[in-house]
Amino acid sequence: MEVEAGVRTGTVHRIARENGLLFPPDPGASEQSTIGGNIATNAGGPHAFRYGVTGSWVTGVEAVVPPGEVLTSGGPLRKNVAGLDLTSLMIGSEGTLGIVTSAWLRLVPAPEERSVVVGFYEDTHAGCDAIAMIMGSGIQPTALEFLDRGALESSLGSFPAMAPDRAGMAVIAETDGTAEEVARVVGELVEAMAEGALLPPVTIVDHAAIRDFWTWRDGVSIAVTAQRGGKISEDVVVPVELLAEAIEETVRIGESHGLPACSWGHAGDGNLHSSFLVDLSDEDQMQRGKEAAAGIFDMAMRLGGSISGEHGIGSLKTAHVEDALGPVAVRLQAEIKKVFDPKLLLNPGKKIPLP
């Protein structure tokens, strides 16, 4: 599919689906976000676990680069290794190298069926054991998500299926394929997720119920924000076997700064949205929230992870990029930025720390 950059992600999903096809990347807020923005941030989302992030589905871009030239890189070809891969360089560059004006997107046949399985657990360790069981057993769900206790306290009231009154962790797995494949994998997921669960895992198979479920999941961020009116939320990534440690450390960092904290996110990718609840008009809380966020970056680095799994760097995280990537990578990125944008006009101060 060739689309202009301003087309909404949800529109691409719908047009693909109406033609029996699937565009898998599904970052939250797809009714607001554009394909250009998804490419600029190399957005992920729940189904990146099986299908990969936006960049895995972009075979070419058209972009305007300073001082106003049109760059066409890649296109509707399945393979193309001529020259340096400028398409990949544009993907995730957060508008610092050029303005993406259109893109070629790869589509696949839409799966016949899909189903969701949700398990609720007493605590983080029981939930992470279920994740390890799923991954270790060789089952490949399309999405493998989690919510910790704090995220559940904010959102469980509107969960659109049977749920316990309280839980320390929820694990969500989705699978797709032919009807037979889905039925088989759902059985395997239920078995893998049953051990240690508070209730038998909840299975959601009806199309409308699955849609309601993902509407609820997309609203988790908003439900958490509503607790105090604001949140400072990061999207660090850690090795998946250290997810439990990162979830618990997020709560401890919040406590040490006097702020309620929680996390949720893409468990299979080790990608957490570690969040501190704040009142946006309270300067003291905001300051403590920023210090707590710096603690989250330190934790991610200590655990062998990264300061951003999918939301990117923007302006807020540029100060942490050198610690995360080291001086050589930062110098080369600054040089690349200057080749594309010698007057440093595009998104100044974002993504790439410049001397």
Ligand X SMILES: Cc1cc2nc3c(=O)[nH]c(=O)nc-3n(C[C@H](O)[C@H](O)[C@H](O)COP(=O)(O)OP(=O)(O)OC[C@H]3O[C@@H](n4cnc5c(N)ncnc54)[C@H](O)[C@@H]3O)c2cc1C
- Least distance in Å: CB of 30 to ligand X? 8
CB 22 within 8 A of CB 12: no
Question: Which residue in the set 45, 141, 168, 295 belongs to the binding site for ligand X (CB under 6 A)?
Answer: 45
Residues 306-345 close enough to bind ligand X by CB under 6 A:
310-311
Q: Are residues 295 and 24 in contact, defined by beta-carbon separation less than 8 angstroms?
A: no
Q: Does 58 bind ligand X (CB under 6 A)?
A: no
Binders in 111-150 for ligand X, by CB under 6 A: none
Owner of token pair 């210090």: 291
Q: List 144's β-bridge partners, or say none.
A: 173
Q: Which stretch binds ligand X (CB under 6 A): 21-29, 191-199, 253-261, 323-331?
A: 21-29
Nearest to 318 by CA among 303, 337, 304: 337
**233 is a site residue for ligand X (CB under 6 A):** no
Helix (H) or strand (E) holding 312: none
Residue with tokens 């961020």: 221
CB of 95 to ligand X, least distance (A): 3
Q: What is the DSSP string of 149-166?
A: HHHHHHHGGG-SS---S-
Identified binder of ligand X from the candidate list 3, 40, 321, 330, rule CB under 6 A: 40
Closer Cβ to ligand X, 28 or 168, answer by number: 28
Number of residues that bind ligand X (CB under 6 A): 24
Using CB under 6 A, which of 172, 347, 352, 353 touches ligand X?
A: 347
Question: Which of 38, 73, 250, 285 is in the footprint of ligand X by CB under 6 A?
Answer: 38
330-to-310, 321, 324, 347, 353 alpha-carbon distances in Å: 19, 8, 10, 17, 7
Q: Which is nearer to ligand X, 36 or 260 (CB)?
A: 36
Q: In angstroms, rounded to a whole number, what is the distance separating the alpha carbons of residues 293 and 250?
A: 9
Closest CA to 115 of 150, 149, 139: 139
72 near ligand X, judged by CB under 6 A: no
Q: How far is the CB of 62 from ligand X (least distance, A)?
A: 10
27 contacts ligand X (rule: CB under 6 A): yes
Note whether 94 binds ligand X by CB under 6 A.
yes
The residues facing 145 across adjacent strands are 172
Q: For residue 32, with 0-12 CB atoms within 10 Å meaning exposed, 13-18 middle and 19 or more buried, which class applies?
A: exposed
Tokens at 117, concatenated: 């399985």
To ligand X, the closest distance from the beta carbon of 39 in angstroms equals: 7
Could you say which of 221, 274, 308, 333 contacts ligand X (CB under 6 A)?
221
Contact segment (CB under 6 A) with ligand X among 30-38, 145-153, 165-173, 183-191 equals 30-38
Give how far the C-alpha of residue 203 lies from the chain's centroid of Cα atoms, to the nearest Å: 23
Under the binding rule (CB under 6 A), the answer on residue 41 touching ligand X is yes
Residue 154 engages ligand X in binding (rule: CB under 6 A): no
Q: Bridge-partner residues for 232, per DSSP?
A: 276
Q: Which residues contact 145 (CB under 8 A, 6 or more apart)?
A: 46, 171, 172, 173, 217, 264, 265, 266, 267, 268
Q: Which stretch binds ligand X (CB under 6 A): 24-32, 129-137, 151-159, 177-185?
A: 24-32
Between 80 and 102, name the residue whose CB sits nearer to ligand X. Answer: 102
Q: Considering only 34-42, 70-78, 134-142, 333-341, which stretch makes contact with ligand X by CB under 6 A? A: 34-42
Which one of residues 3, 5, 130, 198 is an interface residue with ligand X (CB under 6 A)? 5
Return d(Cα 207, Cα 300) in angstroms, integer: 37
Interface with ligand X, residue 100, by CB under 6 A = yes
CB atoms within 10 A of CB 182: 19
CA–CA separation, 11 vs 34, rounded Å?
9
Query: Measured at CB, which residue is nearest to ligand X?
Result: 37
Q: Round to whole Å and give the CA distance between 174 and 118.
A: 9
Q: Which is nearer to ligand X, 28 or 133 (CB)?
A: 28
* Site residues for ligand X per CB under 6 A: 5, 27-29, 32-34, 36-38, 40-41, 43-45, 94-95, 99-100, 221, 310-311, 347, 350
